[in-house]
Amino acid sequence: MTETKKSQWNSNFAFMMAMIGSAVGLGNIWRFPKVLYTNGGGSFMIPYIVSLFLLGISFVLVEYAVGYRFKRSLARILFTISKKLEPVAWFILFTVFLITTYYVCVVGWDLIYIFLSFTKAWGANPDVFFTQNVLHATESMTGLFTIVPTVLASVIAIWFITWFIIKRDLNEGIGAVSKVLIPLLCVIVVIIVAFSLTLPGASVGYSQIFTPDWSALTNLDVWLAAFGQIVFSLSLGMAIAMTYASYLPEGSKLVDNAMIVAFSNSGFEVFNSIGTFSILGFMAVTTAIPFNELVTSGSGLAFVVFPQVFNIMGDAAYVIGPLFFICILFAGITSIIALLEGFCYSISEKFLIERKKTATVVCIVGCLISAIFTTAAGSTILDIADAFLNNFALLFAVFLECIIFGWIYKFDNLIETLNEHSRIKVGKTWKVVIKYILPVCIAGLWLEGVLTTINNNNELSSTVMLILTAIVIIVPIILAKLPAINKDYYNVEN
C-alpha cells in the first residue's frame, strides 16, 4: 500500500481548514466583485444563493460521499465503477493539473507585488508597469523564446513552497499549513475591510452591492453567471473534495461539514467584496473616474486598479498594500496544494510511488510547464489556456461526474453514505438535482462558453486550444493505459 493511502486527517478542524483553503482562492478575491457588479448588484444574491444551495452544495456532497465511501483516488474509483471510465478520471485530474500550472504563475506575479507594495515601486502608471516592467508582455509568439527572469524566479519560488508543503505527510503538510493560513487570511481580510469602510467615498462603492436591479433576475445569463461563480469558487469537479473526504475517519458528519465549507467560502467572498467595493468607491470619488470603469476582474483588478488606489491612499497603503497581496498569496497557496492533491494521490496509488517522490516529480513537471507562462508571450497564452481549461474542459468534467455518479453508479449508495452520521439528511430532492437539474445547468453554461469563444476567436487562440485539446485527450489515455504497479488497484470491490 502507498503511504498516501493510509493518510487520515488527525482532526476535523484540519480537514475543514484544508477544504476552505481549497475553495477560497483568486476566484473569491478578484472574480466575484465583477460578476456581482455586472449581474445586477444586490439582486444577484438571489440567483447566487439559489445556485449555492441547489447546485453547489449538492455537487460538493456527491464528491464528499464518493471520496468517503471509496477511500481511494479518483483514478481507482472510476476504474472500480467501470474499467472504461479510468481515462475520464485522468482527463479530470490532468485538466486540473494544467490549470494549476498557470494558477501558480498568477500567484507568482502576486509574490512580486508583495515586494513592490512596500515601496509602491509600480510608480505613477501601474498599468504600463504591469504589462511592460513585470510581464514584458508581447502578443507576438516570438515572445515564447524570451523568458522573463523575475517572473520565472517567483514561479519557481511558488512551486518550491508548494513542493515543501505537499511532500510532507497529510497532517504535517496540507493540514498544518491550512490551519495557520486560513485563520490568518480571515484576520487580514477583516483588517482590510474595516479599514476600507473608513475611506471617504466607501459608501458610494458598497451601496452598489446593496442596490438591487430586479430586472436582472429575468435574464438567463445572470443565472448562468451565478452558477458559473459557484462552480469556480467552490472548486467543483476538480476532485478536491473527493480526495480530501477520502482521508476522513469513520463517523464524520459529511453533510454538516459540506455546509460549513460552502457557507464559509461564500461568506468570505461576499464579505471581501464589501472591502473591494469600498476601495473602488474611494477611488471613484477621489479621482472622478466613473465607478463602472474601475470594476474589472482578474489581474487587471489586482495588479493595475489596486496599485492605482494605493497610489492615492497615502501612507496607509504601505500597510494595506502588502496585506492585500499577502492575502492573495495565502488564498492562492492553499488552493494550489488542493488542486494537486487528487492528481498526486492517483499517481501514487496506481504506480505505488511514495508521497514525497510523487510530489517531487509532479512539481518539477509542473514547474517546467509553468515556464511557458513566464515568457514574454506567457500572459497571452495564459488567458487562452484559462478560457479553454476553465470554460470547456472543467465544465465538461463536472458534467461527466454528474453522469457517472448520478446515472452509472448506484446513486442510492451515496445517499446512504451521507446520511449515516450526519444530522442534516439528504434524499430524493438531492437525487433529482444531481441527475437532471445539474447536468442541464452545466450544459447551458458550457454552451454559453462555447458560443462566446467562437465569437471572440482568432487564429492564435484556435491553435492554442487545438493543441490543448489534443494534450488533454492523449495524456489521460496514456496514463490510463499504463499498467498499475499496485496490484490492489485492480481490486474492484467497494
With beta carbons less than 8 A apart as the criterion, state whether 244 and 67 touch: yes
In the complex, minimum distance from the CB of residue 234 to ligand PHE, in angstroms, rounded to a whole number: 6
Closest to ligand PHE by CB, 232 vs 310, is 232
φ, ψ for residue 41, nearest 5 deg:
60, -125
In the complex, minimum distance from the CB of residue 343 to ligand PHE, in angstroms, rounded to a whole number: 13
Question: Would you state the cell numbers that stand for residue 278, as one nine-digit string?
Answer: 469600498
Question: Would you state the cell numbers that stand for residue 7, as one nine-digit string?
Answer: 493518510
Closest to ligand PHE by CB, 25 vs 40, is 25
Closest to ligand PHE by CB, 317 vs 336, is 336
In the complex, minimum distance from the CB of residue 235 to ligand PHE, in angstroms, rounded to a whole number: 4
The interface region with ligand PHE, picked from 23-31, 87-95, 192-200, 220-228 by CB under 6 A, is 23-31
| Residue 26 engages ligand PHE in binding (rule: CB under 6 A) | yes
Alpha carbon 198 to its chain centroid, in Å, reads 31
Please report, as residue ranges, which positions from 213 to 252 form the binding site for ligand PHE (by CB under 6 A): 232-233, 235
With beta carbons less than 8 A apart as the criterion, state whether 216 and 44 touch: yes
Closest to ligand PHE by CB, 325 vs 409, is 325
In the complex, minimum distance from the CB of residue 144 to ligand PHE, in angstroms, rounded to a whole number: 23
In the complex, minimum distance from the CB of residue 202 to ligand PHE, in angstroms, rounded to a whole number: 25
φ, ψ for residue 309, nearest 5 deg:
-65, -45
In the complex, minimum distance from the CB of residue 107 to ligand PHE, in angstroms, rounded to a whole number: 10
| Residue 27 engages ligand PHE in binding (rule: CB under 6 A) | yes
DSSP string, 125-146: -HHHIIIIIIS---SSGGGGG-
In eight-state DSSP terms, residue 248 is P
DSSP string, 419-438: HTT-SS---HHHHHIIIIIH
In the complex, minimum distance from the CB of residue 87 to ligand PHE, in angstroms, rounded to a whole number: 22
In the complex, minimum distance from the CB of residue 231 to ligand PHE, in angstroms, rounded to a whole number: 8
Contacts of 34 (CB under 8 A, 6+ apart): 295, 296, 297, 301
| Interface mask toward ligand PHE for 429-458; x: CB under 6 A | ------------------------------
Closest to ligand PHE by CB, 27 vs 40, is 27
How many residues touch ligand PHE under the rule CB under 6 A: the total is 12
Closest to ligand PHE by CB, 146 vs 390, is 390
Determine the residue with CB nearest ligand PHE.
25
Please report, as residue ranges, which positions from 332 to 371 form the binding site for ligand PHE (by CB under 6 A): 335
Give helix 306-313 / helix 86-117 axis angle, nearest 10°.
Answer: 20
| Interface mask toward ligand PHE for 410-429; x: CB under 6 A | --------------------
- Residue 264 corresponds to which amino acid? S
Contacts of 33 (CB under 8 A, 6+ apart): 273, 276, 277, 280, 295, 297, 301
3-state SS, one letter per residue, for 146-157: CECHHHHHHHHH
| Interface mask toward ligand PHE for 75-104; x: CB under 6 A | ------------------------x---x-
DSSP-based three-state secondary structure for 41: strand
Rounded Cα distance between 164 and 171, Å, is 13
Closest to ligand PHE by CB, 234 vs 353, is 234
In the complex, minimum distance from the CB of residue 352 to ligand PHE, in angstroms, rounded to a whole number: 29
With beta carbons less than 8 A apart as the criterion, state whether 429 and 49 touch: no
In the complex, minimum distance from the CB of residue 390 to ligand PHE, in angstroms, rounded to a whole number: 6
| Residue 272 engages ligand PHE in binding (rule: CB under 6 A) | no
Question: Applying CB under 6 A, which of residues 4, 7, 28, 73 lies at the interface with ligand PHE?
Answer: 28
Closest to ligand PHE by CB, 327 vs 376, is 327
3-state SS, one letter per residue, for 193-206: HHHHHCCCCHHHHH
In eight-state DSSP terms, residue 170 is T
DSSP-based three-state secondary structure for 251: coil
Question: Applying CB under 6 A, which of residues 2, 7, 16, 25 lies at the interface with ligand PHE?
Answer: 25
Residue with cell 438531492: 430
Which residues of this chain interact with ligand PHE, rule CB under 6 A?
23, 25-28, 99, 103, 232-233, 235, 335, 390
